[in-house]
């Protein structure tokens, strides 16, 4: 069901992109919008992992430098029958982790120094299994494509703004200034809501997949409780908010309206679903 939902949401994002491209520049605008998304997706596909790891100053570690971490990742990859990813460490007190890479053959998992201090071996196993599930499901690629299309839609909304300032399309093409103004407001918001829905759907899938790889859903449930508590107490340094969806728990603090636009499902709901899996293992 999660896969179907993701496919529908990605199709909706693409449709929004073409529709708003058409509003800005007619048929030609729709084609240009698709081309922009295509180029951005190409760059994201090949280079997003390097960009994100560099952004968080993550350093690759060897088995000698971090034997405990390395051994857990290796054991889990053997259980999941997948290639060993590169392992990275980030010098951050906030306990968190993420995975990146376009496919299982070109993947990396990164953890903060804070998570290494906070979690016990079982909890860390649950977290790393969750990240490996993301890699197996190619969620990183899906999230990258979604972020790219959403970014292209936001770019189109800026084009609409300038178009309205300078007279827009030729009147013979039926330029509608009201439609352009509505688009400037609605387009980025609609794209963001769809992107959030994709991200939330993939988190539930990785929780379930990670629980299966680790062999016990309680490992991750206990880890999520700790991570949620400490991420609220020790805010993380996030160079770019567009990368927040990559982490196992949201590094961005915020309640009220901000929760509606969170890239992650509520922690309570994730824990509840994991605990419901206990009898089925």
Catalytic residue among 60, 122, 123, 131: 131
* Distant-in-sequence, close-in-space partners of 225: CB < 8 Å, separation ≥ 6: 267, 271
CA distances from 228 to 93, 122, 151, 262 (A): 14, 17, 28, 14
Q: Please write the tens of the pLDDT for every residue from 175-219.
A: 566 766 777 777 777 777 777 777 888 899 999 999 999 999 999
CB-count exposure of residue 150 (10 Å: 0-12, 13-18, 19+): buried
Dihedral (CA of 34, 40, 46, 48) sign = negative
Strands (DSSP E) found in the chain = 59-60, 86-90, 97-100, 108-112
CA distance 74 to 83: 9
pTM of the prediction? 0.79
* % of the chain with per-residue pLDDT over 90: 43
Q: Please write the tens of the pLDDT for every residue from 140-162.
A: 777 767 767 776 777 777 766 66
| Residue 131 annotated to the active site | yes
């Amino acid at each position: 069901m999660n896969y179907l939902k993701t496919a529908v949401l990605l199709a909706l994002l693409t449709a929004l992109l073409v529709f708003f491209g058409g509003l800005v520049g007619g048929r030609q605008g729709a084609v240009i919008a698709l081309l922009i998304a295509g180029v951005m997706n190409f760059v994201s596909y090949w280079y997003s992992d390097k960009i994100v790891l560099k952004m968080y100053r993550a350093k690759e570690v060897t088995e000698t430098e971090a034997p405990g971490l390395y051994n857990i990742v290796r054991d889990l990859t053997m259980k999941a029958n997948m290639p060993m990813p590169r392992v990275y460490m980030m010098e951050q007190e906030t306990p968190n982790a993420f995975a990146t890479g376009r496919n299982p053959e070109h993947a990396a998992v990164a953890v903060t120094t804070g998570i290494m201090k906070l979690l016990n071996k079982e909890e860390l196993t649950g977290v790393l299994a969750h990240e490996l599930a993301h890699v197996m499901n190619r969620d990183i690629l899906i999230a990258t494509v979604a972020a790219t299309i959403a970014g292209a839609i936001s770019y189109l909304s800026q084009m609409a703004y300038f178009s309205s300032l300078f007279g827009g399309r030729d009147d013979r093409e039926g330029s509608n200034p009201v439609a352009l103004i509505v688009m400037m407001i609605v387009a980025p918001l609609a794209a963001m809501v769809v992107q959030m829905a994709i991200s939330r759907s993939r988190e539930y899938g990785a929780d379930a997949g990670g629980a299966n790889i680790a062999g016990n859903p309680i490992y991750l449930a206990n880890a999520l409780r700790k991570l949620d508590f400490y991420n609220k107490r020790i805010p993380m340094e996030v160079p770019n908010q567009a990368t927040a969806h990559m982490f196992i728990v949201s590094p961005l603090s915020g309640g009220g309206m901000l929760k509606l636009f969170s890239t992650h499902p509520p922690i309570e709901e994730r824990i509840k679903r994991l605990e419901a899996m206990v009898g089925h293992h």
